[in-house]
Structure 1
Amino acid sequence: MHSLPDGYRALVMGASGAIGSALLQLLQSDPRCGLALGVSRQSSPGLDLLNEASIANCAQSLAAQGPFHLVLDATGALTVNGRGPEKRLDELEAAHLLAALHLNAVGPGLLLKHFVPLLASGQRVIWGKLSARVGSIEDNRKGGWYGYRAAKAALNMLLQTATIELARRRPLAVVVALQPGTVQSALSQPFVGDDAMRPEEAAQRLLAVLDALQPTGRAQFVDHQGQSIPW
């Protein structure tokens, strides 16, 4: 990460997942990175996206190790409570929709609330959040995946709104919704073929994309090749 200050501090949330783990390993091997921490449900302090008190406690526990120049949110799930994405309208259930929204939008929104104050001031900082191309309303041409699409679209709006506010205090901040591509992981395994990328390759691509982006005062929605995705 050559665009960040030498000795930059990084935090990966969702570090127990395939992409989160790969991102953390790459950052820990970067000689320019002064500190790279990972948190997840299994870490200490733990991070439970469904429990705001857990999120607040995790942020408070890590504050002394900041400020952070790079925060990567690799949380999220396609399968929630044992159910995958709905393919048809008649499969919609309120409880499942709310669960998908809670995990993939509300939780990450609360991460913004509690962890944005830990970002460095007066320096370039990056907040990268794994999103999904299916969260694009304009790009939706196939339908299906109702709850997951809706949650990622809501997530993207939360990111955009938070960025507008953040830019007033940290004009050098870069906030990005990232489409990591088709990656081999427990999250995607039931839905992808054998041609999916290894997590290490996806992580390398995502860090390279983040390194090249410039602050615009708006959130950016890009894929693992740096190509813009319509909101």
Structure 2
Amino acid sequence: MAFINQISNANVLIVGASQGIGLGFVQKLLQDDKIAKIYATYRQQELADELITLESENSEKLTCLQIDITDESQIIEAVQKIRAQVNKLHFVINCVGLLHDETLQPEKSLRQINADNLLRYFQVNSIASVLLAKHLLPLFRHQERSIFASISAKVGSIGDNQLGGWYGYRASKAALNMFMRTVAIEYGRNSPKTIVVTLHPGTTDTRLSRPFQGNVPAEKLFSVERTVSQLLAVIEQLQQEDSGQFFSWDGSRLPW
């Protein structure tokens, strides 16, 4: 990774690494000799078999942490475990996101609005990232360049919204963008070498997007490997003045 070129022993944290884009980042970064340590989080052990196998095969480099990032106490505990081993992080990316599950589907109309479901969207997609920002700050306060990225979504752009629907997902990703824009301003004062960005990965062939791939042209449906490579290419080009911005997978800036 170009932004790590000046650092011989970079430390990385991938949040939400049991599957999809997060797992793809772990697989890709394990191959990078400039990275000393990778910390990777997962929530459910039964969905993290591949990640845990990677840890057993790369035990010196990869450490897995089981946390639910909607629980602040679990974030605090995980950060304490990381700080017991290293005193700085150079790259953090939060890949956790909720669009649907067994009980939750994106709303097509106001009739489907449910307050509990809206709260879940915000807890996972918005609040978790700002809690991470709160507790990771001490690990970013160093003199080497660092990046704190969160996976957002183009549908979280207010200016780009032409179709409506998906109230909870759209609003929670818009809130994520605002949280991280605000974090970027505070980090600019307290951790000025850290670049804070939100990233739209494009439609990636993961469990999150699978029920909604029907109208996606084949050339716009990315493999996990392609998405990770594209996002790393965007990350490598980031400059300090880009902190607080919202980027698409092709490096273009998205409207708020």
- For 2:210, the equivalent position in structure 1 comes to 189
- For 2:59, the equivalent position in structure 1 comes to none
Other structure's SS at 1:25 match: helix
Provide the rounded CA distance (Å) in 2 between the counterparts of 1:80 and 1:93: 15
- For 1:52, the equivalent position in structure 2 comes to 72
Report the AA paired with residue 2 of structure 1. A
Other structure's SS at 1:147 match: helix
What is the aligned residue count? Answer: 231
- For 2:84, the equivalent position in structure 1 comes to 64
Deviation of the 1:199 alpha carbon: 0.4
- For 1:124, the equivalent position in structure 2 comes to 145
Deviation of the 1:34 alpha carbon: 1.7
Other structure's SS at 1:65 match: coil
Other structure's SS at 2:241 match: coil
Name structure 2 gaps, 5 residues minimum.
Answer: 46-51, 53-63
Percent identity between the aligned chains?
Answer: 38
Q: Which residue, 32, 35, 39 being the options, matches 1:33?
A: 35
Q: Deviations for 1:31-74, whole angstroms, at most 9, x for unmatched residues?
A: 12122221111375311022111111111111133311000111
- For 1:108, the equivalent position in structure 2 comes to 129
Deviation of the 1:110 alpha carbon: 1.0
Other structure's SS at 2:107 match: coil
Between 1:213-222 and 1:182-191, the stretch displaced more is 213-222
Deviation of the 1:217 alpha carbon: 6.9
Runs of 4+ in 1 over 3 A off after TM superposition: 42-45
**Which aligned pairs between 1:1-231 and structure 2 lie closer than 5 A?**
1-4=1-4, 5-41=7-43, 42=45, 45-66=65-86, 67-80=88-101, 82-193=103-214, 195=218, 196-216=221-241, 218-231=243-256
Distance 1:217 1:185, change over 3 A: closer
Q: Deviations for 1:64-85, whole angstroms, at most 9, x for unmatched residues?
A: 3331100011111101552111
Q: Deviations for 1:92-111, whole angstroms, at most 9, x for unmatched residues?
A: 11111111111111112211
RMSD over aligned Cα, in angstroms?
1.5
Report the TM-score, using the length of structure 2 for normalisation. Answer: 0.86
Report the TM-score, using the length of structure 1 for normalisation. Answer: 0.95
Report the AA paired with residue 89 of structure 2. F
Name structure 1 gaps, 5 residues minimum.
Answer: none
Indicate the structure whose relative CO is greater, using CA pairs within 8 Å and at least 6 residues apart: 1
Report the AA paired with residue 154 of structure 1. A
